[in-house]
Amino acid sequence: MSSNASVNVIQGDSMQSERREKVAIIGSGNWGSAIASVAAKNALARPQQFQPEIVMWVFEEDYQGKPLSQVINETHMNPKYLPDIPLGENVIAEPDLAKVLDGATALVIVFPHQFFHDILKQMAGKVEKGAKAVSLIKVSFSSPWASADVTYSNHRGCGCTRANDSNICNDHSRRVRDLLLFA
């Protein structure tokens, strides 16, 4: 796993070193791209808290004769799933999930629920120790996928919560929630 950039933060009379969060978006459909756009703006607005680059995992597919990740990186838009909406120049589309997870400390999980178990297997052993995660996977509470966050937390060793929970646990999402604010 790669190391995270450190910044000095002044608190009271003392100075301490604090890691800046490295944000990874796991999913690049319309919902994932929209969240990446918001995360990109917020990461740039909070440089003391977040690394500037937002890495977004893209399930590689062809778009008009080119790999979708290449198109996203060249245009800073996802024309297949979120046309005409700029993602931000600091969003990096990456088809290699291991590269996306390398050193990431704040995960936003946002892909179709039917791929949950397959993607979870691909993530095995690649999640940074102590990483935080928020699941934005769209499911109903009667769905067998409704406990995806618990499954993720139990199998990956990091805290995960769903943004659609009625009670979001601040212990697991304190820094991730800042990315979701529409400032």
**Most confident of the following: 35-39, 115-119, 142-146:** 35-39
> What sections of the chain are H helices per DSSP?
30-45, 68-75, 97-101, 116-123, 148-156, 170-173, 176-179
Q: How far is CA 42 from CA 39, 46, 53, 62, 150, in A?
A: 5, 6, 11, 30, 27
What integer is the mean pLDDT of 128-148? 66
Q: Of 47-61, 70-84, 138-152, which gets the smallest average pLDDT?
A: 138-152
**What are the tens digits of pLDDT across the range 90-135?**
999 999 999 999 999 999 999 887 888 888 888 988 998 888 888 8
Tell me what pLDDT residue 8 has: 36
Do residues 31 and 56 make contact, with C-beta atoms less than 8 angstroms apart? no
pTM of the complete model: 0.72
Closest by Cα among 58, 50, 4, 57 to 23: 50
